[in-house]
Structure 1
Amino acid sequence: MITTLLFDLDNTLLENNMDRFIPEFLYALAARFDHLFSRDWFIQQVLTSTREMVDNQDPSKTNQGVFFESLVKRLGHPLSVLKPIFDQFYAHDFDKLKVFAKRVPEAKDIMEEAFNQGYKVAIATNPIFPLSAMMNRLNWAGISEFQYVLITSYEVMHFCKPHVGYYQEILNTLDVKAHQCLMVGDDIKNDLHALSIGIRTFLVTDFIQNLEGKRYTTTFQGSLKDFRRMLKSFSTKNLPLYPQL
């Protein structure tokens, strides 16, 4: 029986063109460091440290710890100098990036239905941002008021998508089994990899470009409207125990 719903955020519950959002995010962040570094060089160091964070497989280090450990070495300044500037950026600048995102009409209705049916609901987005940024983005999506059992921010997670460790950490944190979960997301590589440890998946196709011809395996797929109908009409709690592939 499904007891826990895991939702990706960007281009699942929130329309967000990442090809546009990420450059704007990096440029705004770099502007905070103009007194220390050239913007282009700083952005390259942030991207490299982010890749190291995504690739990390050391369960003793949080994603935040890996990121700043790498960045301190690359930038040549101590954490006591860098971290407060990052904090200022997330406190005052990050929310301005909401102009590049757009609410998905079905998102709030889906959350209300899921909570009304008694599901545990987690926001299982790639944990490369702090919790404050996650809350900003949930607010952009109009779904920040719900009591999620977990929001995968970089302060608490030790792995990133698509690593199996990311999904296993969610299972361990929530004390649930893989067959009790359904991962809902749009990313063929990052979200559908949950299948590798037995978590069923619903591929949200609303914002995927050129899906035809791509090779992938998912338990279910369709638009977010399709998922809402499934949630309301066919109660995911009654889904088969094992994926129908």
Structure 2
Amino acid sequence: MIPNDILSFYSELKRTDVMEAVELAVAKVLTRTFQMPFTVHFTQDGLKMTGLPHCGEPVEITPDKIGKKLRRHVLFTIEVELQKRQALHEAERLRQLQGKVLQGVVAGYEADGSALVEMELSNIYRRIILLGTCPLRYQPMHERNKYTAGKVYHWFVTSVLPVASERNAKVRIRLSRTSKELPALLLRQMSGIERIICHRRIPGGPAEIITARKIPKDIINSVGKETGDIYRVRIIQ
């Protein structure tokens, strides 16, 4: 009843999580369809689906009693449940990105003005393309509606969250270009100086940078060009 390609697509999930998702999804659909509670469990012979009517003995439903239309509904619900668990798994794995700065390519805009950003992560095992969004309120005034599709910018990752609806689930990566952490992290990355903070910042205007050592002028100019800020740097030993 359950195609192997659906389960293999979610191979990163633990087998117990996959089985639990299938059991929950099937029980949910059968309960709604037959108007009585259902218990669903994996056995050596496959899924055991048992209805519990308010009156009378339990009723067992076998796969051959499930028509094509109901089968499609069951498979759809299973996939949504698996997507939810996959989103939770990916969000937990990607949570380490929160509070960091990533390079990303502008892919376009959503209807509400949020910028869609593609970010590439690579390790020795695989290459991952992530899709993030930068809401309009996290875009500096001087940058709004001016991001060029295909151009690379630096983005501060504010949150990594799983988001689920009745039809799908995904990981939402929220980005910002207004955070005062953005220039501080860029200056640290480019200069190698750890003790750099941005005390206050008006995006596209003045920003007060505090550092323990002198930051090379070309690095300050490069980051200022990226963010559009004017930096006032103070050295505090």
Instruction: State the TM bucket, normalised to the shorter chain.
Output: under 0.3
Higher-Rg member (1/2)? 2
More helix by share: 1
Which of structures 1 and 2 has the larger relative contact order (alpha carbons within 8 angstroms, sep 6+)?
A: 1
